[in-house]
Amino acid sequence: MNNLNTTYFSIGNLTLKKVDLDNKSHLELLQKLLLENNEFSGFIKPILTSGHVRQGEGINSFHYVVSLEDINVGYVYISSLDSFQRVSLNYVIESSFRGNQYGKLLLTEISEFLFQRDNRINEIELYIENSNRHSKRVALDVGFKKQGLFHYRIDRSLFFHDEIKKF
């Protein structure tokens, strides 16, 4: 996907940096997220167990630490474009930063970034655990539509033409 294979990029107020296990602050964030025992344990545990991050073309995934003003506030996983012109996006905000609109900011800005950078993307999909009521509310506020028990989607036309609460 265009521009996702770079080491870092800025989207609005946020900076996404490829996960680097040699970076102490990245490692600390991933360890903290793993200890929170959330639905992201499945993404984070293999990274920490193997000691390396597989990402880029042909790997079908991109792993980033999300920063705001050089403070690591979360993690995002972006899948490569699938045959339906869809990417999957999974994110987590570290618990001490929740409730500060960072999830909403991230979803809004990364959705806009992905749609603007790659015209092949028609849809962005989120997988949200049914018990995660805060993430479900954030997704709906940003314009994602519920598509099943755990799936939320936004398509290009909805994002650019509906009234979405943007920052």
Q: How many domains does the chain have?
A: 1
Domain holding 107, by residue range, is 8-161
- Consecutive sets of 10 residues in the chain, 167 residues long: mean pLDDT of each? 67 88 92 79 73 56 88 89 84 91 91 87 90 91 90 82 48
Q: Output the domain CATH number for residue 19.
A: 3.40.630.30
Position 55 scores a pLDDT of: 56
Q: Give φ, ψ of 110 to 5 degrees.
A: -75, -35
CB 64 within 8 A of CB 19: yes
Position 41 scores a pLDDT of: 72
Residues 6+ apart with CB under 8 A from 149: 130
In a domain? residue 3? no
In a domain? residue 107? yes
Single pTM value for the model: 0.81
In a domain? residue 139? yes
Position 166 scores a pLDDT of: 46
Q: Give φ, ψ of 138 to 5 degrees.
A: -60, -45
